[in-house]
Amino acid sequence: MENYNDTPQARTKLNPFLSVWLHPKQTTRYIIEEKSIGFAILIMSIGYIGVTLSDLIDKEALLGWSPWFIVLLCVILSPIIGIIGMAFSALITWLFGKLFKGTGTYSDLFKGLSLTAVPFLALFPFYLIWLFTSAESLMDPNFSGSFPWIIWPAILLTIVVWIWSIVITIGVVAEAHQISNWMAFFTLLLPTIMFIILILILIIVLTLVFGVLSGLS
C-alpha cells in the first residue's frame, strides 16, 4: 500500500471506526492531519472497553463482584489504561522508527496508534454476554462445569482481532513515519525482541541470586 499524502482539500472525511479495518494508512493520515489528540483519546477509550472486558479471563478475584459494576469499572479504566499504554507505545515506535529514518512526530504516532484499539470494540458484545451469562467460566481459571456457547465465537474473534490489530499497527507506523511496511514491521519487532531478552536476563539473574542466597542459608 502506498502512503497517503493528499492535501486537506482533496482528502475525504472518514469514519475511523469503519475505514481503519480496510484502509489503515488512509485513516492514519486522516487522523494525523484532521483530528486532535483529544479525538484520538476518545477513539482509544472506546476501543479499550473491549480490551478490558476481554482481559477479565481468569480474573478470579472479581468473581464476587456485580457484573454491572465490573462493566462500569472497565468503562472507567479504559481511558486510563489506554492513555498509559498508548503513550508508551508511541514513544517506542517513535524512537525505533528513527532508526529507519522515519519522519513521524510523537504526536503523529500517538494519534495513529489510537486506531489500533478500534478492532477490540468488536469484542465488547461477546464478552458482555459471556460475563452476564457465565461469569464463573470467564473468570475462574479452575472452572470445570459446562462452558456457554458464547465462549467459542468470543475466543475465535479475539484471535482474529489481535491479528488484525497487528496488521493495522504496521500500517499505522508505516504511514506515520512514511516508511515501508517492512520497516514498520521491524520497528515493532526490534523493541519486542529487546524486551524479551531483558526479561530472560532478569529471570536468569534472579534465579542465580536466589540460588546463592539459598546456598548461604
pLDDT of 2 strictly over 70: no
Distance CA 43, CA 41 (A): 5
Q: Kindly give the residue spans of alpha helices, DSSP state H, lying in the chain.
A: 16-19, 24-34, 37-54, 67-97, 106-113, 124-133, 135-139, 151-177, 181-216
- Among 54, 153, 172, CA closest to 110: 172
pLDDT per residue as tens digits for the range 132-149 = 998 898 988 888 878 889
DSSP state of 145: S
Distance CA 138, CA 198 (A): 32
Q: What are phi and psi of 106, to 5 degrees?
A: -60, -40
- The pLDDT, as a whole number, for residue 11 is 59
Packing angle, helices 37-54 and 67-97, rounded to 10? 120
pLDDT per residue as tens digits for the range 17-38 = 999 999 999 999 999 999 999 9
206 pLDDT band, cuts 50/70/90, is confident
Higher-scoring residue by pLDDT: 209, 165: 165
Compute CA distances 113 → 1, 58, 161, 215, whole Å. 18, 28, 15, 48
Chain centroid to CA 131: how far? 21
Distance CA 71, CA 204 (A): 39
Letter string b/e over residues 114-136, b meaning 16 or more CB atoms within 10 A of that residue's CB: bbbbbbbbbbbebbbebbeebbe
Q: By the 8 A CB rule, do 17 and 121 touch?
A: yes
- The pLDDT, as a whole number, for residue 3 is 57
pTM for the whole thing?
0.84
Q: Which three cell numbers stand for residue 147?
A: 462452558
Q: Which three cell numbers stand for residue 95?
A: 524512537
Q: By the 8 A CB rule, do 157 and 123 touch?
A: yes
208 pLDDT band, cuts 50/70/90, is confident
Q: By the 8 A CB rule, do 30 and 11 touch?
A: yes
Handedness of CA 156, 123, 1, 114 (dihedral sign): negative
- The pLDDT, as a whole number, for residue 64 is 82
Helix or strand or coil: residue 14? coil
pLDDT of 214 strictly over 80: no
- pLDDT above 90 coverage of the chain, percent: 68
Written as one letter, the residue type at 111 is K
